[in-house]
Amino acid sequence: MNKSTISTFFSITANFITVFPEIREIIREGASADNPEKYIAFRAGGVKSKWFMQNYLSTRKSIGLKSVCSQFYSRAAKEASQLQVNIIKSQIKKLEISGSKNFQRLEVLMPEILKELMIVYPEDYVTLLSLQSRLNHEISITADLLATIVVEDEVVKKPKKKKENSGQNQQLDGIINQILACLNKKHAHELRLLLAKTDNKMQVVQTYIINNNLEKEVTLWVKN
C-alpha cells in the first residue's frame, strides 16, 4: 500500500473520531434549550456538514476520504484474492455517498470499512483495529447521551402539558356537573353513560341536549 495514501486515510479517520466529543458538548448544551431536539439537530448538523465537506469531499485536503479509499481499494485489487476483490468492489460502491445525511451514513460505513481493510491490508491490522475500536466507542457513547437527553425532554414536556390543561379541564367538569344537576334522573343517567365513553365531553353534552329537546331546561337553569 502507498504509505502516503494510508497515512492520509489514518489521519482523516482519526479526525472523524474527534467530531463525536464536539457533538456531545452540543448535546449537553442542548439539554437546557427550549427545544433540545431542534437545537441539537441544528448545531450538530452544522458540525457534521462542515466535516463532510472538508474531509470526505476535501475542500482543504489534497486528497479526501472518498478519493483515498478508492485509490487504495483499486491498488489492492491488482494483487488481491477473490475475497479481497469482492470486498473492494463492495466498499467502493458504498462510498458513493450523496444526500442530506452524509455524515450519518459514514457513521454506519466507517466501522465496516475499517474492519474489511484489516483483511485487505493485514500489515496495518493493529492500527486499523485501534481506529475501529475508538470509533465504535465514540459513536456508542454519543448515541447513548443523545437518547438520554431526548427521553428526559419527553418526561419534562408531559407534566407541563397536563398542568397547562388542568385548569381548563376542571372548569369544564364544573360546567358539566352543573348541567347534569339541572336534568331529571333519567336524562342525567343517560348523559353520564355517554360522557364516560368520550374525551370530547362538551360536544356530547350539547348534542344530547339538542337531541332530547332539553334546551329550555338548561336555559332556565342558566337564568336562575
pLDDT in tens, 73-122: 666 556 556 665 666 556 555 555 544 467 888 888 888 888 878 887 88
Residue range 135-145: mean pLDDT, rounded: 92
The total number of structural domains in the chain stands at 2
Residue 202 and residue 177 in contact, taking contact as beta carbons nearer than 8 Å: no
If asked whether residues 106 and 193 sit together in one domain, one would say no
What pLDDT, in 10s, does the model give residues 94-107? 555 544 467 888 88
What letter represents residue 84's amino acid?
Q
pLDDT tier at 139, thresholds 50, 70, 90: very high
If asked whether residues 121 and 210 sit together in one domain, one would say no
Residues spanned by the domain of 190: 183-223
If asked whether residues 149 and 98 sit together in one domain, one would say yes
166 lies in some domain: no
Model-wide pTM > 0.85: no
pLDDT tier at 168, thresholds 50, 70, 90: low
If asked whether residues 51 and 146 sit together in one domain, one would say yes
pLDDT tier at 174, thresholds 50, 70, 90: confident
User: What pLDDT, on the 0 to 100 scale, is given for residue 100?
Assistant: 46
Residue range 127-141: mean pLDDT, rounded: 94
User: What pLDDT, on the 0 to 100 scale, is given for residue 222?
Assistant: 47
Gyration radius (Cα) of the chain, Å: 32
What b/e string do you get for 113-132 counting C-beta neighbours within 10 Å, with b at 16 or more?
bbebbeebbeebeebbeebb
178 lies in some domain: no
If asked whether residues 218 and 142 sit together in one domain, one would say no
If asked whether residues 192 and 110 sit together in one domain, one would say no
